[in-house]
Amino acid sequence: MVPATLVRKFQSDFNAKPGFIVRAPGRVNLIGEHTDYNEGFVLPMAIDREVWIALKPRQDSTVRIASLELETESAFELTSLTPGSGWIEYPKGIANKLMNAGYILKGFDAVMTGDVPRGAGLSSSAAVELAVARAFACSSGFEWDAVTMAKLAQKAENEWVGVNSGIMDQMASAVCREGHALFLDCRSLEFQHAPLPKGVSVVILDTSTRRGLVGSAYNERRSQCEEAARWFGVKALRDVGMKELGKWGVESGLSEIAFRRARHIVTENARVLEAIEAMNNGNLKRLGELFNASHVSLRDDFEVTNDALNIIVACAREQEGCYGARMTGAGFGGCAVALVADENAEAFTRALSAAYRQRSGLEAAVYVCKASEGAGVAQFEEGGRS
Ligand code: GLA
């Protein structure tokens, strides 16, 4: 539902009704972690936490955006884009990449809001990027092509913002369907909308820990994977199977660390393929086991969990009705995801928060989430209700 505060703020700032309201969701990755930049498989779903933008097109090249949460306003000229700092770099990066791709852009006046927690591994930045791209599609009147927009948004994040992420988050925010997860091949970008199995809730477990230096650790993992791919003589670790992994030995010239990074990627790709099969067969027990194995691999081989993530996942697995749990997103803090039988979901939420508090001394945010639709234009009526 369109947030009423968004429309009120737009009306008071610009003394007019918005011409459009657009939205783009965050995502939770069910399985397939750190596989996207290794050209492998992922299985994310868009969630009912999103970024909203109310806008009115302008005839000139000025883009003005006020952020409801941050209580700031920022503006830039499409004709003279220069890199700076802060949240406005995401909109600027999107504008830059759209224009470089040949889109003719018009400016807009806008108010932005959202409820995707920042830095929690739920892709708040991809949600901003896709919402801004959607806003430009409205202000400038070009046709929306979800996959093209996801690719441009990733380029903006890599080249303008300077974060070397893969394609998963932008694809999830752009192309997901309500009630479905997205089975995505990150090499070909071929995808399938996979219906979520019946009887199970997807629960997000936010450890409330955040890690500032994710960027450098993330880039380090990337280069270790690239080093391993070179050693195996392939373009990307996607092309390595269990048999090839067996060729490695301590004396082989590839470090033990790089080998373990590779082992995570190879086994994780296999887990995604098995997970989609388990999902299609409604085999929740197997799906949960794959979640658990993924967490262990991310903890021991890829080393991207922290204590809080390990504790919350352990607490989750002890609760009744929990099929499996694992960290989600880049790691180093942020969120885990659990699969819980519908009838246990409410009790799970309460019991988990208490167990986690007791063991870590921290407060978790735990919520059941709904698989949502990718970026789009929202229908709204006067008064701010959709
Ligand atoms: C971040 C990146 C994604 C992906 C995940 C890990 O969310 O933006 O591209 O690499 O980490 O799976």
What's the pLDDT tens digit per position in 251-282? 899 999 999 999 999 999 999 999 999 999 99
Rounded mean pLDDT, 177-206:
98
DSSP annotation of 120 reads S
344 and 254 share one domain: yes
- For the cut 80, the answer to whether the pLDDT of residue 211 exceeds it is no
| pLDDT tens profile 333-342 | 999 999 999 9
Q: CB of 160 within 8 A of CB of 88?
A: no
Q: Counting atoms of ligand 1 from 1, which one is nearest the CA of 34?
A: 12
250 and 161 share one domain: no
The domain in which residue 103 lies consists of 4-192
163 and 251 share one domain: no
The last residue of one of the domains, among 141, 164, 192, is 192
Specify the pLDDT at position 250: 84
Q: Give SS3 for 108.
A: strand
Degrees to nearest 5, angle at CA 369 with 308 and 3: 110
188 and 202 share one domain: no
Q: CB of 180 within 8 A of CB of 45?
A: yes
The last residue of one of the domains, among 192, 210, 236, is 192
**CA 72 and chain centroid, separation:** 25
Q: How far apart are CA 328 and CA 205, in angstroms?
A: 10
Question: 13, 115, 145, 169: which is the annotated catalytic residue?
Answer: 169
Would you call 73 exposed, middle or buried from its count of C-beta atoms within 10 A (0-12, 13-18, 19+)?
middle
Could you tell me if the CB of 165 is within 6 A of ligand 1? yes
- For the cut 70, the answer to whether the pLDDT of residue 94 exceeds it is yes
Could you tell me if the CB of 89 is within 6 A of ligand 1? no
Is 305 a domain residue?
yes
CATH number at residue 104: 3.30.230.10
Is 375 a domain residue?
no
Specify the pLDDT at position 384: 44
Q: Report which protein residue has its CA nearest ligand 1's atom 8.
A: 165
Q: How far apart are CA 163 and CA 161, in angstroms?
A: 6
Degrees to nearest 5, angle at CA 200 with 197 and 204: 115
* Alpha-helix residue ranges (DSSP H) falling in the chain: 4-14, 89-100, 124-140, 146-155, 168-175, 214-232, 242-245, 256-280, 284-300, 307-318, 345-360
Q: Report which protein residue has its CA nearest ligand 1's atom 1.
A: 330
296 and 338 share one domain: yes
DSSP codes of every residue in 215-239? HHHHHHHHHHHHHHHHHHTSSSGGG
Q: Give SS3 for 368.
A: strand
Q: What is the mean pLDDT of the chain?
A: 95
Reported confidence tier of residue 214, pLDDT bands at 50, 70, 90 = low
- For the cut 50, the answer to whether the pLDDT of residue 386 exceeds it is no
184 and 219 share one domain: no
Reported confidence tier of residue 215, pLDDT bands at 50, 70, 90 = confident
Is 385 a domain residue?
no
65 and 96 share one domain: yes
Reported confidence tier of residue 212, pLDDT bands at 50, 70, 90 = low
179 and 265 share one domain: no
What amino acid occupies position 272?
V
Rounded mean pLDDT, 5-30:
95
Specify the pLDDT at position 382: 53
- For the cut 80, the answer to whether the pLDDT of residue 309 exceeds it is yes
**% of the chain residues with pLDDT over 70:** 98
Q: Give SS3 for 149.
A: helix
Centroid of ligand 1 to alpha carbon of 319 (angstroms): 28
CATH number at residue 277: 3.30.70.890
139 and 254 share one domain: no
Residue 14 CB partners (closer than 8 Å, separation 6+): 56, 109
60 and 181 share one domain: yes
Residue 233 CB partners (closer than 8 Å, separation 6+): none
Rounded mean pLDDT, 140-157:
98
83 and 110 share one domain: yes
Is 383 a domain residue?
no
Centroid of ligand 1 to alpha carbon of 5 (angstroms): 31
Rounded mean pLDDT, 243-252:
91
Q: How far apart are CA 303 and CA 250, in angstroms?
A: 19
Pick the more confident residue, 168 or 1. 168
Residue with tokens 């989609």: 276
185 and 245 share one domain: no
Q: Counting atoms of ligand 1 from 1, which one is nearest the CA of 125?
A: 8
| Structural domains of the chain, count | 2
Specify the pLDDT at position 385: 45
List the structure tokens of 111.
């108010």
Is 377 a domain residue?
no
Specify the pLDDT at position 213: 56
Could you tell me if the CB of 56 is within 6 A of ligand 1? no
169 a catalytic residue: yes
DSSP codes of every residue in 20-79? EEEEEEEEEEEE--S-GGGT-EEEEEEEEEEEEEEEEE-SSSEEEEEETTTTEEEEEETT
